[in-house]
Structure 1
């Protein structure tokens, strides 16, 4: 049985994925805890300043306090100072959305981004915190840097259920995922076409301190599929890989990258 501390963390993680908030009853039902316990947890978190209640809907949602803590932590680790100029440059070159995800505790976590699209269609999703490995270019890039056994372990941990609600290009079986991982490993970078979301495509590469070192992060370029065709993603790959190498060189200055490595 989860402790009160564990339940409080689960509440925060749940609300982080629902920016409009959730009613108390749904928080309890989604987490499988009694509604009375959910009410006490939300009251405690509200008193601590991490949760607030919408006056009109009575839904509970996160305050800016948690986001501020996260931003302060990223600033202290040097990620924004080291990575942001490189992401900005790649976004300007590509004219698309560029994002960085760091590997931590067997997960890929989004930590920074730069938007290169100035006019026309823009892709800038609310992707949550963690990266879904089977249906994202970032996920495939990281899985391709691992052994097949390790990749299968990470995919099995996330499960395939989420893939069934994603884009038409999302893999539906473990065999499909492993085939795409093998293709990514041979190509040298990950590519997805309308996998995470219909109408969008992306290309991604791993960041590692040395060619044989473990991956510590991934960097990607994503945009509308009408622009991000397979041919264009191939043409963007050299700039993407150059950025990945530059991020690797900058990683030694950030304790967050060091911890991942």
Structure 2
């Protein structure tokens, strides 16, 4: 099995919650159908993919998720952070999230929901944040030089404008405006940037000499107003500093990042 083709198929299936068929996978990845079928068969045999009962669709198993969670548990930082983000969620009534730097991406790995009823904003855990238009991405990028931030964003891309909110930056100049403002404030904030009618605020967790993660809040803009964002930013920055101190005590700055970054 081609390792590259197998990984491409796994990445594609991660975006297909109900599974999809051989032809759709092959066409989306520009693979010969015979090659795609052979790789899928090996992924099924190895336990990373299963074929649904009707045999027309393939879907990911939980094996990758299980492997990721097992590895994450070995770092210990998620266990340290969970009580902190639960406290922030309870204090604000909004969705608090923890994301960790993983190489050239930042991944949502933990959450605590402070809004028990009504509308909930709940992105899938384990996904990489879009750097150009999420408060999480901006909070990470603000800890870098403009050159470093631009390089990462260009590698990931801006995505399609219709995929995000009306205020999402679509040029480097617009993005750098967000980042410069975030550095002045000490935290990132967005309003109808990642999604229409949604707002978010985030603070980086800087442990030692590097950013290891981000703590963020997100919710409907009718609740998460500019005034509330500024109020909650104090709680977020305190939480981020607390997590950074605990991370220092646990020795995280001396350990390699989750990935290569």
By the TM > 0.5 criterion, same fold? Answer: yes
Distance (whole Å) between structure 1 residues aligned to residue 222 and residue 39 of structure 2: 46
Distance (whole Å) between structure 1 residues aligned to residue 126 and residue 234 of structure 2: 28
Q: Does 1:101 align with 2:99?
A: yes
Structure 1 counterpart of 2:63: 65
Distance (whole Å) between structure 2 residues aligned to residue 15 and residue 155 of structure 1: 23
Structure 1 residues 254 and 94, CA gap change in structure 2 (3 angstroms): farther
Q: Does 1:117 align with 2:115?
A: yes
Q: Does 1:218 align with 2:214?
A: yes
Aligned Cα root-mean-square deviation (Å): 1.9
| TM-score relative to the length of structure 1 | 0.92
Q: Does 1:247 align with 2:243?
A: yes
Structure 1 position 162, deviation (Å): 3.4
1:141-164 Cα deviation digits (max 9, x unpaired): 111111111111111111223344
Distance (whole Å) between structure 1 residues aligned to residue 164 and residue 254 of structure 2: 30
Structure 2 counterpart of 1:165: 163
Distance (whole Å) between structure 2 residues aligned to residue 164 and residue 22 of structure 1: 23
Q: Does 1:142 align with 2:160?
A: no
Distance (whole Å) between structure 1 residues aligned to residue 149 and residue 110 of structure 2: 24
- Which has the larger displacement, 157-166 or 23-32? 157-166
Structure 1 counterpart of 2:256: 259
Structure 2 counterpart of 1:45: 43
Runs of 5+ consecutive residues of structure 1 not aligned to the other structure: none
Distance (whole Å) between structure 2 residues aligned to residue 238 and residue 250 of structure 1: 18
Distance (whole Å) between structure 2 residues aligned to residue 129 and residue 143 of structure 1: 17
Distance (whole Å) between structure 2 residues aligned to residue 57 and residue 97 of structure 1: 38
1:6-39 Cα deviation digits (max 9, x unpaired): 1111111111122111211111122222111111
Structure 1 position 257, deviation (Å): 8.6
- Which has the larger displacement, 62-71 or 42-51? 62-71
Runs (4+) off by over 4 Å: 254-257
Q: Secondary structure at the match of 1:8?
A: helix
Structure 2 counterpart of 1:203: 201
Q: How many residues align?
A: 257
Q: Does 1:133 align with 2:131?
A: yes
Distance (whole Å) between structure 2 residues aligned to residue 195 and residue 127 of structure 1: 19
Distance (whole Å) between structure 2 residues aligned to residue 229 and residue 140 of structure 1: 18
Runs of 5+ consecutive residues of structure 2 not aligned to the other structure: none
Structure 2 counterpart of 1:189: 187
